[in-house]
Structure 1
Amino acid sequence: MEVQGKVKMIGQTQTFGNNGFRKREIVVTTEEQYPQHIMVEFVQDKVDLLNSFQVGQPVKISINLRGREWVNPQGETKYFNSIQGWRIESEQSQGQAPAGMPPVPPADAFEPVNDFKEEDHDDLPF
């Protein structure tokens, strides 16, 4: 699965417990009729993937959905979901050409070409 949008926020790396579990969160705002602010967490060695990204940058994040079950001290079962990123790529904004490529002109910049002359329509060989 993937999430696409612009980076709204990149959090600091957090470390938990004696084992040194690391987590870092990023919020991506989708670009659709009703934009969503999606929080994605990167864990352990994946936290460093966020180092080269900035707020406002368009990105595509490959994600996994994770679900956990937890029984509280009162014996009630609770369920938690998380969105975990494992790859992040910079996305080109619409209208921009990839690095090293010339920009593509808009479709209406081209004029139709008519290579047929009016008198050529009856020159069929049969």
Structure 2
Amino acid sequence: MNFELTGSLIVKDEEQAITASFKKREFVIEVANERNSDWNDYIKFQLTQDRCAQLDPFNLGEAVKVSFNVRGRKWEKDGKVNYFSNLEAWRLEKVQPTADPGTPPPPYTEAEVPPAGENEDLPF
């Protein structure tokens, strides 16, 4: 399952060597709630193995688009079964700021309209 979320990078952890052959790096983005900023979501992701370095060029506070998969695991210890989920990031992209949608277009002037030719042959 592939998903994407865009938010502001608020936590950038160091790489962790879990075993000699497995490493991971966690980070958190804040996803704005358009209705009420008091209800923003804070989503923790992890990068694994060679993907850990993808986080290096990003600074705290920057907008980032995260492509990720949802992974679920079953874990059994001492006869007790537990389940856990991870959000495994596989691509990070910088988000370019967009123009303010509230900015009106420049005013229309008649000087921008070319003069009509005498031998216009358009049917309309």
The reply to whether TM is greater than 0.5 is yes
1:55: which partner in 2? 60
1:89: which partner in 2? 93
Q: What SS does the aligned partner of 1:83 have?
A: strand
Structure 2 unaligned runs (5+)? 114-122
Alpha-carbon separation, structure 2, partners of 1:18 and 1:56: 32
Q: What per-residue deviation string (whole Å, max 9, x for no partner) do you get for residues 30-57 of structure 1? A: 0223211100100000001111000000
Q: What SS does the aligned partner of 1:48 have?
A: helix
- What TM-score, normalized by structure 2, do the two folds share? 0.76
Q: What per-residue deviation string (whole Å, max 9, x for no partner) do you get for residues 30-86 of structure 1? A: 02232111001000000011110000000001000000001120x121110000000
Q: Work out whether 1:111 is the aligned partner of 2:116.
A: no
Identical-pair percentage: 28
Q: What SS does the aligned partner of 2:56 have?
A: helix
Alpha-carbon separation, structure 2, partners of 1:40 and 1:26: 6
Higher strand share: 2
Structure 1 unaligned runs (5+)? 97-103, 116-124
- Count of paired positions: 106
1:24: which partner in 2? 25
Q: Map 1:59-70 to 2 at 5 A.
A: 59-70=64-75
- What TM-score, normalized by structure 1, do the two folds share? 0.74
Q: Work out whether 1:44 is the aligned partner of 2:46.
A: no
1:8: which partner in 2? 10
Alpha-carbon separation, structure 2, partners of 1:16 and 1:61: 23
The structure 1 segments of at least 4 consecutive aligned residues displaced by more than 4 Å after TM superposition are 112-115
1:28 CA drift (Å): 0.4
